[in-house]
Amino acid sequence: MTSDPGMSRRVARLENDTESIYELITEVRSTQDEHTRRFEQVESTIVEVRSTQDEHTRRLDRLESSLTDARSTQVEHTRRFDRLESTLNEVVRRLPEPS
């Protein structure tokens, strides 16, 4: 078997390169794991925000319903005032003229 000193250097360099690649892969995995944790935190926050928005929507719906009811009552009161005003105008019209 012939011993080529250049071959030994190339093999050693390839072994070093392989070890460096494994170290880089380990770092990439670690970074991916951290990103996964961060994405899960963001997802959890988004779920909480969505839940709060849903609750606000329900509350706004209840407020809108209350305002609609109040507006309806206000319209009915306006009609009643108009009828009372009309009745009072008729009563005043029928009163004798002051002498």
pTM of the complete model: 0.57
Classify residue 95 by its DSSP letter: S
State pLDDT tens for residues 13-50: 999 999 999 999 999 999 999 999 999 999 999 999 99
The most distant pair of C-alpha atoms in the chain lies apart, rounded to whole Å, by: 146
- Going by the DSSP 8-state scheme, the letter that residue 4 receives in this structure is -
Q: Say whether pLDDT at 1 is over 80.
A: no
